[in-house]
Every structure is written in structure tokens, then in C-alpha cells.
Amino acid sequence: MAKKKKAKERSYGGVVSTNRRAHHKYEMLEKFECGIQLQGSEVKSLREGSASINEAYAIIEDGQVWLHGMHIPPYTPAAMQNHQPERVRKLLMHRREIERLIGQIGEKGLTLVPTKVYFSGAYAKVEISLARGKQAHDKRHDIKEREMKREMDREVRRRR
């Protein structure tokens, strides 16, 4: 009897990187899912689960959305055909969404901040948020709320 070969299973899906600092610095108003234009070695590196969007930001130039500051480390087996880790990458969005963003960014103090990089099926996606910078007293208020929630959780666990 001949043994049957199993099809190679690929792991599609899953979060590659999140920007937790953005939730502390900014008030998130609206989220958008964008495709991202990548090179082959960048996709392989993302599949390994290595990327950083902590210092990244998105801007709109000439009716297109560009992601600056995202770090995808080089894919070591690619050797000569590797990519530049901090190159500017194009985000893929519908024209109407981009036009709406242009109008909203025209408001004072709004910016585009990437919050998550993940795979949806076979495609790499970036979640960007329309955000407004928090003031120092807003940050202190968030910290105070988080501490109160922790205290309540501790008390509930202690009473069980």
C-alpha cells in the first residue's frame, strides 16, 4: 500500500504586531483595514512574526496613503534579494475611504496611526486608526481608571 502524502498546511491568520503605545498616546476615533504593498522577502519575514509599528505613522500624499517608520527585519534566507527594513510602504484603500480621510484629517489635531499588523487569509493587512492626541490630564485619567479596575479585580479574587 502506498502512503498518501498530506497537503502542506499553511498558517494563515494571526496578529503579527500591535502598537499598544498608540492607545496610551492617542484617542482612537475610527478604525480602517488596509492592505499593504509588500515585497516577497517582507511577507516571509512577517510570516515569521517579526515586525515593529511602534514608531510608525501614515500620511496621505497625492491621493495615496503611505506608511512610514514600520520596521520589518530582513529575511535571512533571502540574502541578496532582501528588502530595506524601514522603507516607505503603500497602503491599499478604496478611493472613497481615502477622500473621507483627507476631509477628516483636515480637522485640527487628527492623525493616522497604525495599530495592528495581521494576516487575513493569505493577505497582510494593517489596521490604521484616525486618532486625536491625548492631553496629559487625559493620560492621567486613563491610568487612574486602570488602577481602580485592577484594585476591584484583586478584591473580587481575594473574596472568592
Nearest 5°: phi and psi at 63?
Answer: 75, 15
Tens digits of pLDDT across the chain (160 residues): 455 444 344 455 688 888 888 888 888 888 999 999 988 888 888 888 888 888 888 999 988 999 999 888 888 787 777 777 788 999 999 999 998 888 888 777 788 999 999 988 888 899 999 988 877 777 788 888 888 999 999 999 988 8
Cell of 39: 515585497
Per the rule left: phi > 0, alpha: psi between -120 and 50, beta: everything else, 63 is: left
Cα 64 to the center of its chain, rounded Å: 18
- The neighbour count for residue 131, using CB atoms within 10 Å, is 22
pTM across the whole model: 0.73
- The confidence score (pLDDT) of residue 13 equals 65
List, in order of start, the domains of the chain with CATH numbers.
14-134 (2.40.280.10)
